[in-house]
Structure formats: structure tokens, C-alpha cells
């Protein structure tokens, strides 16, 4: 690896910043086409029902209406295993019944009211226990337990180990459903040119999902589908692959005109993909010195009507329990359960924040029970660079999973300890933290710590192309979507560094299936690591080819490249600018790379250690975050300002989720009662603390320029850091989130404010 | 949103006549910050909207011999900074400043604030039927989400008036000035709002064809001071879970003319005569404040899932009393 880096490590201004600040950036819902129609969706008033009959004749005749779509008009292609384009079976209040395209949004909305639907209401089921009980109404063939089984992963033998434990600690932890609320609502614009389809769409996966789904659903060849998402107003892993694109495309085909479908905020809350409620039962057995000897977590996620990527969400609840503390025996059992709640799906961190909430709060209870300071406890027992005890189970030569279970595999880089120490120093843990917080009085202050472990970004097949033409234009083509996190800037920095060219020589081409090689989904904090790898490798090759050509042109054996100028080695004064060299190219230089980065003998993960200082009003249950320090190990930081923004945004987002945000479901009707910013309590700026961000210093040896994933890891410890600070302040353990005044007062009433 | 006819009468009496003519189909619109949301969300529908924007003289704040008169069309942003809202009336400016967001305060009016509809989540959901919307049952009673419901009273509908201005106006002994097709009348604000055992269909005492045109406040002693505190889940852009307006004067170290009004506790703003009596003539202390707070909620009848509002309410009352009695006199 290069020791002196010019562009990687610099806080260059993000590429699209000026356009965004000036309001020039056009998001999907800003796009218009001549003759474009506006689509609206008729949504189910029932939590569970079957469409017996549907009469669209009046709607079709309504003024300005050009197409009405029902389940009779679409293919029977399953977008996902359990999701059709439209379905005669409705599974939540707000489920898609029919769609209308008309000349104005108002005309479309009026036409919805003219659609006559005869529903046969079916018995609904809303909670996991009831959904799994014998005789429960089945939402999908095969029952309500997704895949018909609980996922079980285990290292060692927990059953054998618990009886040997000195003490066993247990707790049940709940997290609520909430809306991810990207500022841009879901939107798609579909237009046909003969049998060729172009769809602009809010997306995180044009190549890997949307294009394939559209091709299959509409019955046209993949090459006839172009999907574009050049600007996204908030991704957070949540702009899913559901019905949006196919509905717009079917309507446009039926109407013979371009159609744009844009969700309202209410629809976004009800029919977007939410983070669903989870419950985890956690059991930790420790030895006499406090060392964990067995950790067992059993979790359930209320997946709602469709599971989408929910299996992965559930799996990741368990990763902290399996891997954050050195422990020979660990077991995770997870169930995803269908109910008549709105569908869940992916969202930043998947199940990890909920799982770490349980793990890190119960670990504080362990430390308290064993008479150890929570920071000291973690410093002593966190998983070390050598990894978990036990034996490797991945066959030799195969890639080590990014959510490992096995022991015997060391980490490739490991900055957890550094994060704990630097964060503790910054917040003043050793000087300022008292065992009982500020102890007495109506307002009490306390400090809390929590750690996090998360995927480092490996495991996705990534592709990149670099084109250098005779005008000296350098195009870096990558199929992934910059969902707003700044990956176009990061990949441009990686390309410029590897090419040894100034950043403004680089043109990024992303998120358009017509002009990019296949790209992976923007998920799992993988873009910097995986696509970055592909970009770097392509750029390394291009750089070497250009240098060879420059050396040949200059008639020397080697050249150096700096600032866009090739300088001959060993021949004073001989130089060639990059543009001179390009002008003489016989043909464009093109390099295409496909790879799946990772390691066959190392775990590559990102780490966090977060510290919160809170004040709790004992009489009102109000929690105020006074200060927050987030220390992250993401290897080398490609762009410190963007990285700091990632971490600050992550922490603020999850402070809101931990303290206030919750989708309130009516228990009898299944209605989402608060689908608005007013009543889904997204935090206002006055309630946010300053966030101090620290980064560990160790580059990841196997990553492009040493950079690991950072998009999701900083959300992981937030619930627990706050809950542990509250416990330090009040002596009360919070096991149920969000920590609203109601829940805090209930916890105080139940556990007693034993300090006067 | 469904179509509606839009009227802009020039006189209050004409507005009243239009209301009478169109009955249940008609609704007054002032700033519209609540009504338009309801119409757009499909919670209510009115075929006739009667705007008050052209009715003259409703947007004045006027100091006369009989006290202070606040027109129903005065916007909240003006109340935040009006010089007449000082001294005893400063609590009104304080309450106005705490409403929603600057955008809403530039649009929302005093009359609209007092006549706004409840925040009950079930009332606000277009997907569920409820008593207040003319339905036959109350789904909120079966739900765990009762934080916007009352903790007092026994009516079939436990929705509350969410106004932040109502509790301080009641504490200041405000009088509702009502005009309409059949002439004008006045009514103490305590009688204007629905009581604890409300009928779901009625938020206030306005009769068909009537409108609220002003609130009059009788003169208050120069050294009377009040404050308005509310508990919310977030500090800005949020409705109160429960609130307390408290005011008094301190004469020779004793509390006089104590007024305590709760918001969000009962269907409308609720005066607490027992707590007031308990404070009258007492030397201020934390214990006195705590006893008054206990007394204010002595008759509480919380629902299964909103008992926590009693804790919040007691804390607010204690704080409001301590704040005023320590800064006054």
C-alpha cells in the first residue's frame, strides 16, 4: 500500500454538492415527460381480505383517466417469493388493490373513489405469538413462520455451558416498529418506446433487482429495460425493490403514455418498507471473574405482510450476541413471522441495533452484577484481534463470511479497543463517571457506553469500468446507486488516487443500466469496500497501461505521474501531459473488472464504541442527551468530512429512533394510526446534542486503500449507549424502546427509584 | 380532497347566516392550518367553507376600560410579540410562542386555535370510524395508544381539546364573545368548552349559526403573574400530552388569586378549584406546590394506558407554581 496518499484521506467537496445546494439536482419525482400521466393507488381498508369482485368501469370513464390496473391486468410473476405485482389477497391496511393513471393527480385520486370493490374480510392476526399459534389464519402458503423454520446458528455448546456458569443473567428486550422516513418519498417514472422500457426510480439496486424484476414482470428481454436512479433523497437501505416499478410500467403500457407514480408521505409510512417490531430473549452465563461462558439469544421479528429482505434483518439481530464478546459458546435463534401489519424490509443496520440493544444493556447488567465498571468489563472481555475461541468451520480456501459464527479465525483489522479507549478519554469516563451517576434529585445525569460489531463491506460481486478517450475524458462507470451517502465522491477519490490524476479529471457515471456494468445492491455498507475494490483494480491497470505508453512515447524505461503530467525518469526535462498522451491514443483505453472481495482466512468487520451522557427528569421521564461521542473503526477514512457526516447522521437518526419514533398500530383494525411527521415523532433539531466523532487509525490491509464500511456500523450501538447512560443516572434498566416518557416512567415505577 | 364552495362574507352576522343555511355541510375557515389537513386526509368533509378573512375588525388586539379584547382572527405570531400581552397577560405570549412551528403561527389564529379538533389518533385516522366522526363506537378505548386522551371525566369520547391558548385564557377568566345570525352573546370560557362528560359530537357551546369573534379578558392586578408549561415528546412542532397554566400574585409573602387550569387532562381546559383553594393564603413552598398538584389530580380517572399523564401533569403543576411563586412578589 502507498504510504503517501494525495486524494484518499482528503475532505474533498462532494461531487454533487453544488447542484444539491442550488436546487438543480433532479430527483425522480421532479421528472416530467410530455403527455405524462399521474398514478394513484387504491389501498385496502381491511387488514386481511380477499377481493371477490372489482368493477373499474366507472373509473375508466372518469375524465382524464387513461388506465386502471387491477390484479387481472398484471402477470402472475412473483417480485419476491411472497409478493405479486397485484394480488387478490390483501394482507394489511394500505395494501395495494388497484392503480389509476390520469392526466392530473386529482383526477387519478377522484377516479380511485369510483372503483367498486367487493371484499371478503378474512380474520387478521397482528402479533407474532398469535400468528404462530395453531389455527392462526395463514397469510402465505406454508404458514406464518417464514420458511417454516427458525434460523439457528451456534458456536460451541450453550446448552452444556449454562449449567457450568457462575451466574446467569437474563432479559427480554423490545424494539418498536418505526418508519425510516427518507426525505424523498418513493417514486417511479415509466416510459415505453415500442417494446423498450425506461424506468426512473428511487432505488438501491438497479441492476441486481429492478431491471430483472421489470424484465420478468413485463415479459420483455432484460436488454429492453433501462433503469436509472441518478439522485436519491435518502436511501438508508430502505428504497426497496417492491411493486413500485412494475405498477408504473404496467400503467404506462396500458395507457400508452409515460406514467409517474409518487408516494405521499402517508403512503410512505404505511406502504413503504418499515423497520418492524422485534423482541429478543437474551441469556448470558458468566464465570466467577465475569467472563462470558455462554450467550444465547432468541429473537422474533414481526415481518408484517411480506418478508422481503426480512430474513437478513432477523439474522443480523444475532450477530452481536454471537461475536462481540469472546465466548466459546454462543447461539442465536431467530424467527421472522408474517402478520397483517404493513410489510417490513431493509433499513440501516437491519436487526443489529435491536440485537445490540439487548446485548449491550444486559452486559451492563452483568458488569453491575459482578461489581465491574462497564468500560473495564468491555476492555477485558470484548472479542480480540485473534477472533473467537473454537475451530474454523469454513472449508479451507473458501471466503470467511462477513457475519461469522465460527471460532479460530482472526480479524484482518480490529480497532475496537482503540475506539473504546479514545471514546472513553474524550467523554472523560475515568474522571467523570460515577457508579451511581449524579445519584439524587429530580434531574439525574449519567454516562453510558455500548459497542458494536458489523460487516465491513465484503462479499458482494462488484464491477467497474474505466474508459479513457482521446479527449482525455476519464469515465469511471459503476452500476451501484449513490443513495445520498456520497459514494460517487468516495469512488472518484479512489479512482483518482489509483490513477494518480487530479480529482477533477474523473467523471463518475453511476446508476444507469444503459451506461454501467452490472452493480451490486447498495446494502451492507459495501460500496466503498466492494465497488471501491473494483474501481481501484481497474484504475491500477489503466494507470500502468498509460504509464507504459507514456514511457514508450518519451523513450524511457519508466515515468512518474503527478498532477496530470508524466515525467521521464532519468531524462531531465522530458515530460508529457495526460491530455497530450490521450490525444495520441490509437483507441480509448478501457478496463473492466469483476471481483468479489473478501478473505479466505480473516474476518473483515467494522467496530464501534459509543458514549452517551444523559439527563433524566425523574418526575416526567424525559431523557435529554447532553453529549454523545461516537468512535468508529472503519479502517482508513477516505473522506473525513463525509465520514463524519455519515457518523453524525447515523447517531442522530438512531437517537430519534431510540427516544421517540414509533409506528402506532391499532390493535383491532390493524390501522397505522400515526402516518405523519407530526405523530411519528421524528426528532426536531432542538432535541439533538452535538455528536463528537472519532476514528480508529488502523487501515484494513485487505481493503481498497484500507477503507472498511461505515454506512451502517455507527447506528448499531445507539439504543444501548442511551439506555446504559439512563441506567447509570437512575438505576433503572430500560428494556423497551423507544424510551418515551410513558416507558421511562413505567420503568421507574416498576423498578423503583431506589435512590432518594 | 373533495370539492367545496368557498364563501367570503364581509360581516360576522352574514357568516352566521351562511352557517345556519348550510348546517352540517358548512364549516368556518380562518387560518385553515387544522381544517385543511383534516379535509386533505379525508377525515371530514364540508361542502361549504365560510372564510372569515374579509370580516372586518376580527384581527385586533384592543385594550379598553373593561379589559383586553383579542379578536378571533389575530394570528398566533402576533400574540407572541404584542406589547399588550405583557405583565399578567405575558403567559399568553408564552403559550403562543410554544405552538407548533413558526409557519403554523404565521397562519393559525386565536379563534382557530380554540376551536381546533382533537388530536386523538383514532379521530385523526381516515381508516377508522369513531364517535366524534359520527360512528357508533370508540376504538381508542380498546387501543394502547391513549396519550392524547383525557385522564378526567367519564364521557364516551375521551378526546381532548389540544389548544395551548385555552388553559391560559381560562386562567385569565376569559370570556368568549359570540356572534351570529341571531345576534351576539357572551359566555365565560369555562362554559365554552366541552366539559369532562362531553358529548362526542360537540367540542364547544357554539350553536348552529354562531361563531366565536373574540375573547375578552377582565383587568388583572398589575402584580398577577402566570406561566404555561406543557409536556411533549419533542421540544418543537409537537402537541402537548398534558399542560398546566398557573398564575397568582404574592401579597405579603402569601399566594393570592391563584388560578390553575389543566390542558389535555379533560375534554376542555379544566380549572382546579380545590387546588386553587389549597394555595390561597399560603406561603409558597415546594410542599405546598406538591400538595396542590396532588389535589389537581385527586379526581382523575385515567384510562388503562394513559396513567403516566398524571405523573407528567403533577410535575408540570408543581413546576409552574414554584416558578411563579419564586419569581413573583
Going from the C-alpha of A179 to that of each of A124, A175, A672, A680, the distances in angstroms are 22, 13, 11, 8
Chosen for mutation from B122, B303, B315, B318 (greatest number of chain A CBs closer than 10 Å) is B315
Please count the structural domains in chain A. Answer: 3
Q: Is the pLDDT of residue A684 over 90?
A: no
Q: Is the pLDDT of residue A437 over 90?
A: no
pLDDT, tens digit, for every residue of A505-543? 999 999 999 999 999 999 888 999 999 999 999 999 999
Put simply, whether A441 touches B (Cβ < 8 Å) is: no
CB contact under 8 A, B142 and A667: yes
Say how many C-beta atoms besides its own lie within 10 A of residue A50's C-beta.
14
CB-CB neighbors (< 8 A) of A678 in chain B = 237-239
Going from the C-alpha of B70 to that of each of A149, A258, B95, B222, B261, the distances in angstroms are 66, 54, 15, 19, 20
The answer to whether the CB of A225 falls within 8 A of the CB of A512 is no
Nearest-neighbour CA in chain A from B23: distance (Å): 25
What value does the mean pLDDT take over residues A547-576?
Answer: 92
User: For chain A, what percent of residues have pLDDT higher than 70?
Assistant: 99
**CATH code assigned at A733:** 3.30.365.10
Across the A:B interface, residue pairs with CB atoms under 8 Å apart total 79
Domain extent, residue A572, equals 17-24+458-595
The answer to whether the CB of B209 falls within 8 A of the CB of B280 is no
**CA end-to-end span of chain A:** 59
Residue A478 belongs to a domain: yes
pLDDT at residue A655, as a whole number: 98
Alpha-carbon gap, residue A416 to A418, rounded angstroms: 5
CB contact under 8 A, A673 and B147: no
How deeply is A685 buried, as exposed, middle or buried, from its count of CB atoms within 10 A (0-12, 13-18, 19+)?
Answer: exposed
pLDDT at residue B54, as a whole number: 96
Those residues whose C-beta lies under 8 Å from the C-beta of residue B173, and which sit 6 or more positions away, are B188, B189, B217, B218, B259
CB contact under 8 A, A679 and B241: no
Q: Is the pLDDT of residue A159 over 70?
A: yes
Say how many C-beta atoms besides its own lie within 10 A of residue A54's C-beta.
18
CB contact under 8 A, A619 and B315: yes
CB contact under 8 A, A742 and B147: yes
Last-in-domain residue among A271, A291, A324: A271
Do A548 and A650 belong together in one domain? no
Residue A416 belongs to a domain: yes
What value does the mean pLDDT take over residues B310-319?
Answer: 98
Question: Within 13 Å and on the Cβ side, how many CA atoms surround B315?
Answer: 20
Put simply, whether A684 touches B (Cβ < 8 Å) is: yes
Q: Is the pLDDT of residue B244 over 90?
A: yes
Q: Which residue of B has its CA nearest to A108?
A: B1
Cell for A737? 424502546
Do A308 and A443 belong together in one domain? yes
Chosen for mutation from B239, B240, B311 (greatest number of chain A CBs closer than 10 Å) is B311
Those residues whose C-beta lies under 8 Å from the C-beta of residue A283, and which sit 6 or more positions away, are A162, A168, A169, A170, A294, A295, A296, A297
Q: Taking the C-alpha atoms of A242, A243, A246 and A252 in order, what is their torsion angle to the nearest 10 degrees? A: -140
Q: Out of B122, B145, B231, whose CB is closest to A620?
A: B231
Put simply, whether A753 touches B (Cβ < 8 Å) is: no
Do A571 and A630 belong together in one domain? no
Chosen for mutation from A124, A742, A750 (greatest number of chain B CBs closer than 10 Å) is A742
Q: Out of A660, A668, A671, whose CB is closest to B125?
A: A671
The answer to whether the CB of A214 falls within 8 A of the CB of A227 is yes
Q: Is the pLDDT of residue A241 over 70?
A: no
Put simply, whether B3 touches A (Cβ < 8 Å) is: no
pLDDT, tens digit, for every residue of A651-664? 999 999 999 999 99
Residue A161 belongs to a domain: no
Judging by DSSP bridges, how do beta strands A225-228 and A116-121 pair with one another? unpaired
What value does the mean pLDDT take over residues A7-18?
Answer: 96
Do A488 and A404 belong together in one domain? no
Cis amide leading into B23 (omega within 30): no
pLDDT at residue A1, as a whole number: 42
Tell me how many degrees the CA angle A391-A397-A402 measures, rounded to the nearest 5. Answer: 65
Nearest-neighbour CA in chain B from A683: distance (Å): 7
**CATH code assigned at A243:** 3.90.1170.50
Last-in-domain residue among A595, A612, A647: A595
CB-CB neighbors (< 8 A) of A684 in chain B = 234-238
Say how many C-beta atoms besides its own lie within 10 A of residue B8's C-beta.
14
Q: Out of A671, A673, A741, whose CB is closest to B312?
A: A741
Those residues whose C-beta lies under 8 Å from the C-beta of residue B87, and which sit 6 or more positions away, are B220, B222, B224, B225
Put simply, whether B308 touches A (Cβ < 8 Å) is: yes
Do A51 and A98 belong together in one domain? yes
Rg (chain A; Cα; Å): 27
Strands (E) located in chain B: 5-7, 26-29, 48-51, 61-64, 67-71, 175-180, 185-188, 210-217, 225-231, 242-251, 254-263, 270-271
Put simply, whether A669 touches B (Cβ < 8 Å) is: yes
User: For chain A, what percent of residues have pLDDT higher than 90?
Assistant: 94
Do A305 and A259 belong together in one domain? no
CB-CB neighbors (< 8 A) of A620 in chain B = 231, 311-312, 315-316
Alpha-carbon gap, residue B78 to B97, rounded angstroms: 10
Last-in-domain residue among A577, A595, A613: A595
A120-138 in b/e form (b: 16+ CB < 10 A) is eebebbbbbeebbeeebee
pLDDT at residue A4, as a whole number: 86
What value does the mean pLDDT take over residues A21-34?
Answer: 96
Q: Out of B121, B139, B311, whose CB is closest to A668?
A: B139
Do A521 and A429 belong together in one domain? no
Do A420 and A511 belong together in one domain? no
Cell for A508? 463518475
Do A571 and A428 belong together in one domain? no
Between positions 110 and 139 of B, the ones with CB within 8 A of A are: 119, 121-122, 124-125, 127-128, 139
Q: Out of B139, B238, B312, whose CB is closest to A620?
A: B312
In the sheet with B210-217, reading across from the earlier edge strand, the strands are B61-64, B67-71, B210-217, B175-180, B185-188
Between positions 23 and 62 of B, the ones with CB within 8 A of A are: 41
CB contact under 8 A, B145 and A686: no
CB contact under 8 A, B236 and A679: no
DSSP A216: H
Say how many C-beta atoms besides its own lie within 10 A of residue A571's C-beta.
13
Nearest-neighbour CA in chain B from A677: distance (Å): 9
ipTM of the modeled complex: 0.95
Do A264 and A403 belong together in one domain? no
Put simply, whether A671 touches B (Cβ < 8 Å) is: yes
Do A434 and A477 belong together in one domain? no
Residue A694 belongs to a domain: yes
pLDDT at residue A110, as a whole number: 95
Put simply, whether B84 touches A (Cβ < 8 Å) is: no
Between positions 85 and 104 of A, the ones with CB within 8 A of B are: 93
3-state secondary structure of B297: coil
Between positions 263 and 322 of A, the ones with CB within 8 A of B are: 266
Give strand pairing partners of B5: B48
pLDDT at residue A2, as a whole number: 45
CB contact under 8 A, B127 and A45: yes
Chain centroid, CA A732 distance in Å: 31
Residue A167 belongs to a domain: no
Residue A155 belongs to a domain: no
Residue A137 belongs to a domain: no
CB contact under 8 A, A669 and B315: no
The answer to whether the CB of A544 falls within 8 A of the CB of A532 is no
Alpha-carbon gap, residue A166 to A366, rounded angstroms: 12
Q: Out of B121, B234, B312, whose CB is closest to A674?
A: B121
Put simply, whether B233 touches A (Cβ < 8 Å) is: yes
Q: Out of B121, B144, B308, whose CB is closest to A745?
A: B308
What value does the mean pLDDT take over residues A159-182?
Answer: 97
Average pLDDT, chain B: 95
Judging by DSSP bridges, how do beta strands B175-180 and B225-231 pair with one another? unpaired
Sign of the alpha-carbon dihedral angle for B214, B219, B220, B225: positive
Alpha-carbon gap, residue B321 to B293, rounded angstroms: 9
Nearest-neighbour CA in chain A from B122: distance (Å): 7
Q: Is the pLDDT of residue A755 over 60?
A: no
Global pTM value: 0.96
Name the one residue in this structure whose C-alpha cell is 432479559.
Answer: A171
Alpha helix (H) residue ranges in A474-515: 487-499
CB contact under 8 A, B314 and A619: yes
Q: Is the pLDDT of residue B329 over 60?
A: no
Do A631 and A742 belong together in one domain? yes
Residue A367 belongs to a domain: yes
Amino acid at each position: 500500500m502507498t504510504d503517501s496518499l494525495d486524494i484518499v484521506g482528503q475532505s474533498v467537496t462532494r461531487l454533487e454538492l453544488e447542484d444539491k445546494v442550488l436546487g438543480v439536482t433532479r430527483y425522480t419525482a421532479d421528472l416530467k415527460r410530455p403527455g405524462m400521466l399521474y398514478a394513484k393507488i387504491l389501498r385496502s381498508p381491511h387488514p386481511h381480505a380477499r377481493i371477490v369482485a372489482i368493477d373499474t368501469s366507472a373509473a375508466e370513464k372518469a375524465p382524464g383517466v387513461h388506465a386502471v390496473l387491477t390484479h387481472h391486468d398484471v402477470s402472475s410473476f412473483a417480485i419476491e417469493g411472497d409478493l405479486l405485482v397485484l394480488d387478490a389477497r390483501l394482507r394489511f391496511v394500505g395494501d395495494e388493490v388497484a392503480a389509476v393513471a390520469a392526466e392530473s393527480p386529482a383526477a387519478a385520486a377522484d377516479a380511485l373513489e369510483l372503483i367498486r370493490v367487493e371484499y371478503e374480510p378474512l380474520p387478521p392476526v397482528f402479533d407474532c405469538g398469535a400468528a404462530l399459534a395453531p389455527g392462526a389464519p395463514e397469510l402465505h402458503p406454508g404458514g406464518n413462520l417464514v420458511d417454516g423454520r427458525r434460523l439457528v446458528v451456534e458456536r460451541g455448546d450453550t446448552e452444556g455451558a449454562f449449567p457450568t456458569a457462575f451466574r446467569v443473567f437474563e432479559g427480554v428486550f423490545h424494539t418498536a416498529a418505526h418508519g425510516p422516513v427518507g426525505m424523498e418519498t418513493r417514486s417511479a417514472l415509466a416510459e415505453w418506446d415500442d417494446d423498450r422500457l425506461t424506468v426512473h426510480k428511487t432505488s438501491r439496486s438497479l441492476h441486481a433487482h429492478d431491471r430483472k424484476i421489470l424484465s420478468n414482470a413485463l415479459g420483455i428481454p432484460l436488454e429492453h429495460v433501462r433503469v436509472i436512479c441518478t439522485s436519491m433523497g435518502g436511501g438508508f437501505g430502505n428504497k426497496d425493490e417492491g411493486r413500485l416499478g412494475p405498477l408504473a410500467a404496467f400503467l404506462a403500457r396500458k395507457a400508452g403514455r409515460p406514467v409517474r407514480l409518487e408516494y405521499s408521505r402517508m403512503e410512505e409510512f404505511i406502504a413503504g418498507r418499515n423497520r418492524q417490531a422485534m423482541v429478543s430473549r437474551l441469556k448470558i452465563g458468566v464465570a466467577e471473574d465475569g467472563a462470558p461462558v455462554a450467550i444465547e439469544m432468541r429473537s422474533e421479528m414481526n415481518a408484517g405482510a411480506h418478508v422481503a429482505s426480512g430474513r437478513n434483518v432477523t439474522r443480523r439481530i444475532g450477530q452481536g450476541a454471537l461475536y462481540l464478546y469472546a465466548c466459546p459458546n454462543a447461539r442465536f435463534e431467530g424467527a421472522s413471522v408474517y402478520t397483517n401489519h404493513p410489510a417490513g424490509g431493509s433499513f440501516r443496520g437491519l436487526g443489529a441495533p435491536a440485537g445490540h440493544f439487548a446485548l449491550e444493556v444486559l452486559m451492563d447488567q452483568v458488569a453491575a452484577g459482578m461489581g465491574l465498571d462497564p468500560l473495564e468489563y468491555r476492555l477485558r472481555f470484548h472479542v480480540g484481534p485473534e477472533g473467537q475461541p473454537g475451530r474454523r468451520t469454513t472449508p479451507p480456501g473458501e471466503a470467511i463470511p462477513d457475519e461469522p459464527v465460527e471460532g479460530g479465525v482472526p480479524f484482518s483489522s480490529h480497532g475496537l479497543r482503540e475506539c473504546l479507549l479514545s471514546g472513553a478519554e474524550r467523554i472523560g469516563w475515568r474522571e467523570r463517571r460515577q457508579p451511581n451517576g449524579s445519584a439524587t434529585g429530580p434531574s439525574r445525569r449519567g454516562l453510558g457506553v455500548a459497542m458494536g460489531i458489523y460487516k465491513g463491506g465484503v462479499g458482494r460481486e462488484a464491477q467497474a469500468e474505466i474508459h479513457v478517450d482521446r479527449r482525455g475524458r476519464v469515465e469511471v462507470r459503476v452500476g451501484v446507486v449513490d443513495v445520498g451517502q456520497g459514494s460517487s465522491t468516495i469512488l472518484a477519490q479512489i479512482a483518482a488516487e489509483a490513477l494518480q490524476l487530479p480529482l477533477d479529471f474523473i467523471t463518475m457515471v453511476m446508476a444507469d443500466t444503459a451506461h454501467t456494468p452490472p452493480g451490486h445492491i447498495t446494502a451492507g455498507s459495501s460500496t466503498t469496500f466492494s465497488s471501491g475494490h473494483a474501481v481501484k483494480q481497474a484504475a491500477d491497470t489503466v494507470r500502468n497501461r498509460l504509464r507504459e505508453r507514456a514511457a514508450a512515447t518519451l523513450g524511457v524505461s519508466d515515468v512518474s505521474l503527478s498532477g496530470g503530467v508524466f515525467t521521464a525518469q532519468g531524462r531531465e526535462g522530458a515530460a508529457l501531459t495526460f491530455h497530450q498522451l490521450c490525444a495520441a491514443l490509437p483507441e480509448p483505453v478501457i478496463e473492466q473488472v469483476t471481483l468479489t472481495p473478501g478473505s479466505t482466512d480473516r474476518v473483515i468487520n467494522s467496530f464501534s464504541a459509543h458514549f452517551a451522557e444523559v439527563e433524566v427528569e425523574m418526575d416526567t421521564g424525559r431523557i435529554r442527551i447532553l453529549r454523545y461521542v461516537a468512535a468508529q473503526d472503519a479502517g482508513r477514512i477516505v473522506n473525513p468530512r463525509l465520514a463524519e457526516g455519515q457518523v453524525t447522521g447515523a447517531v442522530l437518526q438512531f437517537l430519534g429512533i431510540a427516544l421517540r419514533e414509533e409506528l402506532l398500530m391499532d390493535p383491532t383494525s390493524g390501522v397505522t394510526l400515526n402516518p405523519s411527521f407530526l405523530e411519528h415523532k421524528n426528532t426536531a433539531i432542538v432535541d439533538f446534542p452535538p455528536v463528537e466523532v472519532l476514528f480508529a487509525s488502523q487501515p484494513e490491509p485487505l481493503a481498497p486503500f484500507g477503507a472498511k464500511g461505515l454506512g451502517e456500523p455507527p447506528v448499531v450501538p445507539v439504543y444501548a449507549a442511551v439506555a446504559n447512560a439512563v441506567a447509570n443516572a437512575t438505576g433503572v434498566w430500560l428494556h423497551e424502546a423507544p424510551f418515551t416518557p410513558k416507558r421511562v416512567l413505567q420503568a421507574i415505577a416498576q423498578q423503583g427509584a431506589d435512590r432518594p | 380532497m373533495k370539492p367545496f364552495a368557498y364563501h367570503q362574507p364581509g360581516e360576522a352576522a352574514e357568516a352566521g347566516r351562511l352557517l345556519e343555511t348550510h348546517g352540517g355541510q358548512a364549516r368556518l375557515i380562518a387560518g385553515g392550518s387544522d381544517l385543511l389537513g383534516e379535509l386533505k386526509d379525508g377525515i371530514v368533509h364540508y361542502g361549504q367553507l365560510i372564510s372569515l378573512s374579509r370580516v372586518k375588525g376580527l384581527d385586533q388586539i384592543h385594550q379598553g376600560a373593561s379589559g383586553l379584547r383579542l379578536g378571533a382572527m389575530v394570528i398566533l405570531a402576533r400574540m407572541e410579540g404584542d406589547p399588550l400581552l405583557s405583565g399578567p397577560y405575558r403567559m399568553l405570549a408564552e403559550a403562543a410562542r410554544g405552538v407548533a412551528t413558526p409557519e403554523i403561527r404565521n397562519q393559525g389564529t386565536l379563534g382557530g386555535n380554540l376551536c381546533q379538533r382533537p388530536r386523538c389518533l383514532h379521530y385523526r385516522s381516515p381508516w377508522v370510524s369513531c364517535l366524534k366522526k359520527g360512528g357508533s363506537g370508540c376504538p381508542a378505548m380498546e387501543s394502547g395508544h391513549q396519550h392524547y386522551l383525557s385522564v378526567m371525566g367519564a364521557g364516551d369520547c375521551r378526546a381532548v381539546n389540544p389548544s395551548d391558548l385555552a388553559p391560559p385564557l381560562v386562567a385569565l377568566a376569559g370570556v368568549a364573545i359570540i356572534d351570529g345570525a341571531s345576534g351576539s352573546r357572551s359566555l365565560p370560557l369555562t362554559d365554552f368548552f366541552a366539559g369532562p362528560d362531553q358529548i362526542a359530537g360537540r367540542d364547544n357551546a357554539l350553536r348552529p349559526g354562531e361563531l366565536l369573534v373574540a375573547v375578552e379578558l377582565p383587568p388583572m392586578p398589575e402584580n398577577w403573574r402566570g406561566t404555561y408549561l406543557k409536556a411533549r415528546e419533542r421540544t418543537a412542532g409537537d402537541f402537548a400530552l398534558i399542560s398546566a397554566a398557573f398564575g397568582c400574585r404574592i401579597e405579603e409573602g402569601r399566594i393570592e388569586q391563584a388560578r390553575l387550569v389543566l390542558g389535555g387532562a379533560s375534554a376542555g381546559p379544566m380549572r382546579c378549584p380545590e387546588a386553587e383553594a389549597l394555595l390561597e393564603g399560603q406561603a409558597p413552598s415546594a410542599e405546598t406546590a406538591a400538595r396542590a398538584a396532588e389535589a389537581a389530580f385527586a379526581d382523575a380517572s385515567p384510562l388503562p394506558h394513559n396513567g403516566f399523564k398524571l405523573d407528567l401533569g403533577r410535575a408540570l403543576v408543581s413546576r409552574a407554581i414554584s416558578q411563579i411563586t419564586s419569581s413573583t412578589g
